[in-house]
Chains A and B, each alone.
Chain A
Amino acid sequence: MALELSTSAHGIPSIPVALDGRALEPSRRIPLNMDWVEEVRVNTSAVERRAATHCARRTVKKETQAAWLLRAIACMDLTTLSGDDSPERVRRLCAKARNPLQRHLVEGLGIQELNLTVAAVCVYHAYVETAVKALEGSGIPVAAVSAGFPAGLSPLAERVDEIRRSVEAGAAEIDIVITRAHVFRGEWQALYDEIAAFKETCGPIHMKAILGTGDLMTLRNVARASWVAMMAGADFIKTSTGKEAVNATLPVSLTMVRAIREYAKRTGMAVGFKPAGGIRTARQSLDWIALMKDELGRSWLEPSLFRFGASGMLGDIERQLEHHLTGRYSATYRHPIA
């Protein structure tokens, strides 16, 4: 199936946003439809089986693998969310974001023209300004985790205020967390109102709704929360904060991705997906890319609709790409740290 590549004003080919040939619009808020929440059916064992066999059914080798790993970089929110973050570490991260691969790798792979960078840099509010300054002129957006990250348990007004301040500080993307209790209690209207309020505050800025899937525990909860977040106008739905005991898994991702597909079919709107936390290896990135490709199609392999939330994965990808070029297995210390 050949893709029609059109060229945008900047000379970079862009991919039409479509599902099964139907053009889709960006996400916007729609009224809460309780039927859609209540008719959710997720069979956990079947989802787990599909997730497990999907990986075994798909593998990419050689140049294709290299290209897919580059795709993983292009869709990466390079992240640091530690208690011991410092301005220097954030600046280092931003430098890596601009040049995720060393020059000899870029040249060896023959991808100079791609001007490959990561999709965004993701930090706490406190480092938004530092990151914005460090990324000046690169076009790389800064994403801020917000709204009482990671547990989302501070008062609503404060969470809304936090979003406003991050936007004012220059964040171009906001990753919010939901109040998990709304899901446990089935307070779908409250969940909807909360997410809608966050999105209202974000305005045109891209908002990713973190569901905290490791806290939600069941795939049915994950699916229901996904539907509410999409109806409330989230641009992306995101698995985890990286702080839960269990973070992004393939079964959880499959559940969310299926919700995105069905939502697109019903509304004609495209919502993005961001698995985050626990994705550390190049091999894992390939599993997720294959999942996105098979379940949603080519449009969802663009940073506008797909992000990895990762900090350590880039290093492993660099090693794999070096191996691809040299045929020798690479070591971590050979690649500059982020």
Chain B
Amino acid sequence: MSIAEKFYTMEYGAAPEDPREAVAWLDRHHRRFEEFIGGAWVKPASGEYMTTSDPSSGDPIAEVAKGNADDVEAAVSAARKAFPAWQALGGHQRARYLYALARQVQKHSRRLAVLETIDNGKPIRESRDIDIPLVARHFYHHAGWAQLLEQEFPQYTACGVVGQVIPWNFPLLMFAWKVAPALAAGNTVVIKPAKYTPLTALAFAELAMEVGLPPGVLNVLTCDARTGQALIEHPGIDKIAFTGSTEVGRIIRKATAQSHKKLSLELGGKSPFVVFDDADLDSAVEGVVDAIWFNQGQVCCAGSRLLVQERVAETLYDRLRTRMETLRVGHPLDKSIDIGAIVSPVQLETVRRLVDAGIAEGAQCWQPRNPLPEKGCYFPPTLLTEVHPSAKVAQEEIFGPVLAAMTFRTPAEAAELANNTVYGLAASIFSENINVALDLAAKVKAGVVWVNCANQFDAGAGFGGYRESGYGREGGREGMLEYLTPKWLHSLPAAQSTVGRAETDSDAGTFVPAGSPIDRTVKQYIGGKQARPDSGYSFPVYGPDGQLLGEAPLGNRKDIRNAVEAARAASGWSRTTAHARAQVIYYMAENMIQRRNEIARRLAAAVGEEQAAAETDLSIQRIFSYAAWADKYEGIVHHPPGRNITIALPEPVGVIGILAPAAAPLLGLLSLVLPAIAVGNTVIAVPSDRYPLIAGDLYQVFDTSDLPGGVVNLVAGRPAELGKTLAEHDGVEAIWSFRGNEEAALVRAASIGNMKQVWTNDSHEYDWFDSAHAEGRWFLQHATQIKNIWVPYGE
């Protein structure tokens, strides 16, 4: 076409990015890559290689080593070997390495961007302007954390060797999100990039060699999922960080249930994109483009469910369709395209299948008329309207450029629909009214909320999910904590086995020794009321020298069910002001002081006079502590680049099940219940079977302290059995087990169903009498999850 003709048509022309440098780099490596272990390229033990292909054409790009269990062994042992020296190096020296890596990424940014686009299929515009700059930003930011580590986290130390498994959608960015904080904190790393997209991780390994990163600090294993599992299961790994599907997250949970490996999981999502009738609709349309047509929709936090207020729904759909006509789908290396190639034929097929299922379930499907490239894995931007919450496309993660839309009428309905999902990763809210936007931001169950924007990321702001979207945060101070562990924890003694104390009257006999009159009936405490156990059984509780102290109710799964119902019904506690919660908790202390002597006297029969006195007095102190904390455990404001504030808000996790420790029946129980309720959770606590009768004293304190019914529920019985029911219950968001390893492993395994957060004593025996370590931020941290709310501003 001549210039004169182009002057008339005014169409876009080809604007290809020159891939020469990246191609030359591939050729320099003879298009064959080994694994990066112990600072060197190592041939795979299997001698086998896998092929990675260009999704825009289907053509092979290079061969990469196919690692096996032997390679895992080699990599973990290299990391173990490197760990002591890397940790001993100190924050400043590590900061220098991270800074050098950031610089190296910037210096080679275009090669990395082109390589990413060739391997993954994402538009060069995105890899160039978003992925790679964020990679550099992540290393800069974490060079800073390395530098400040000793000052800002004085009580913490590195976890050890970290195993990391990352997905194919943002290959190098996810690599950076994992590696930068891990190295900054002083860990060493074995990382497995995704099978489809290993190249930029290998290119990064080369940069690490160039800056002289000590051998073994960073190891890159290329392998398939099966070998990945060997990495997860390897006993030499102290911490696992995974980003990927919820399905694989479950497998990892299962594989690690018997271990004490620290876990952070960033999983799937079905994030709502909510548009109110007072939104700037044109900006909302662009927000949708950023939300679901970014990276071909292959984004875990993609705003894939459009919830639009009825009054503006048709207008918005209309504008969306118009906008979709101008989205350019094409070769990812073309600088003028918006949507590139889907990562693989398998993924393309999944997207197709789900869209077909959506149409079969009654959705109206709209796609723009623009033709797709003939060769390669492409899927057009797709709008599905008239989708119902029950439809597959409204519930399942599609991981493609497909938007499922439905309408709402009131803000309450918007919140209900937004939260009608097993996931809780992100949400976008469009409204020009700050009251409306922030109200929903508070209500939505998601780790990241974007007001009037979508898919904003920064190294300084935490990212991560609620519910089945995983737990743990990446980025910022909250992200650093995932790669650190308290120093004092390691000096604690090993926990003692505590299984099997609670015996029923049926198997222990009903013999009551003379001289121990049962002068008091202790019941379950559910929803603010004393309740007889559903089982109709009680079990005797004996003192250390065998005397009968009384009988405790033997709880069963129905008691747990009722207690969870009550705890859920009491969720208003989380919306009570922090000041009001503090007042209730102070009042508990006041009422405990009134009863101090009688509680101590009864407790003495179980633990001796000295401990009973200490437990009771320290309990009063601890109650005061958490009354104090209630209005002081606050969020922070991040300052990501750009004109916005990002509010990192600690929110209660929800309903927490607690298996109380045996060592200090009163103090231990309160040390766990108090931080939970101080920040607004509701609780089902199983008192230690060593002395469950403490429940009777406690609920009298609760009852007289204006604690709303259902905020704390006490169910006595066999902790392992009740713990299993709690762990399995989908209405429980977290479970804390502070008993033996058996219970810990049991609740870990049983809690995989709804991916609930598990916190255990990790085989340590906590010293509940040591206030320096038995209360405070460490506990509050586990009682909360951080929601980052991005609020851009400006007029």
Contacts and interface: CB of A to CB of B under 8 A. Distances in A.
The reply to whether chain A is a binding partner of chain B is: yes
Interface of A: 1-3, 5, 13, 20, 41-50, 53, 56-68, 70-71, 74, 109-111, 113-114, 218-220, 258, 289, 293-294, 298, 301
Contacts, number: 110
Given A45-B792, A110-B2, A111-B4, A293 B10 contact: yes
Contacts of B325: 20
B794 A45 contact: yes
Contacts of A109: 3
Contacts of B432: 41, 43
B7 A114 contact: yes
A57 B338 CA distance: 7
A44 B793 CA distance: 8
Contacts of B2: 63, 110
Contacts of B792: 45-46, 49
Nearest to A67: B6
Identify which of B10, B335, B452 gathers the most chain A CB atoms within 10 Å of its CB.
B10
B7 A111 contact: yes
Interface in B301-326: 322, 325-326
B643 A41 contact: no
Nearest to B433: A41
Given A66-B3, A109-B3, A45 B10 contact: no
5 closest A-B pairs by beta carbon, nearest first, are A64-B13, A46-B283, A67-B6, A45-B792, A43-B280
B10 A258 contact: no
Given A43-B283, A45-B453, A45-B644, A71 B4 contact: no
Identify which of A49, A111, A289, A298 gathers the most chain B CB atoms within 10 Å of its CB.
A49
Contacts of B281: 41
Given A43-B452, A110-B3, 10 more contacts: A41-B280, A41-B432, A45-B452, A46-B283, A58-B12, A60-B336, A67-B10, A110-B4, A114-B7, A294-B326
Size category of the binding interface on chain B:
35 or more
Contact of A60 (B12, B282, B322): B12
Contact of B282 (A45, A258, A293): A258
B283 A50 contact: yes
Contacts of A44: 794-795
Nearest to B322: A20
B313 to A, nearest CB: 16
Contacts of A110: 2-4
18 contacts: A20-B322, A41-B280, A45-B644, A45-B793, A46-B280, A46-B283, A58-B12, A63-B1, A64-B12, A64-B13, A65-B13, A67-B3, A67-B6, A68-B10, A71-B7, A109-B3, A258-B282, A294-B326
A53 B39 CA distance: 39
Nearest to B17: A59
B322 A46 contact: no
B13 A63 contact: yes
Nearest to A58: B336
B452 A46 contact: yes
Contacts of B286: 46, 49-50
A62 B2 CA distance: 11
B280 A60 contact: no
B336 to A, nearest CB: 5
A201 B281 CA distance: 36
Interface of B: 1-4, 6-15, 125, 129, 278-283, 286-287, 322, 325-326, 335-336, 338, 369-370, 430, 432, 452-453, 643-644, 792-795
- Majority secondary structure, A binding face: helix
A3 B7 CA distance: 12
Given A57-B125, A67-B3, A3 B795 contact: no
B10 A113 contact: no
B453 A41 contact: no
A289 B6 CA distance: 14
Identify which of B2, B3, B8, B125 gathers the most chain A CB atoms within 10 Å of its CB.
B3
B3 A59 contact: no
Contacts of A48: 794
Given A45-B643, A110-B4, A61 B15 contact: yes
A53 B289 CA distance: 11
B283 A60 contact: no
A70 B370 CA distance: 27
Given A41-B278, A46-B452, A3 B6 contact: no
A13 B795 contact: no
A47 B430 CA distance: 13
A114 B369 CA distance: 32
A209 B338 CA distance: 34
A42 B12 CA distance: 29
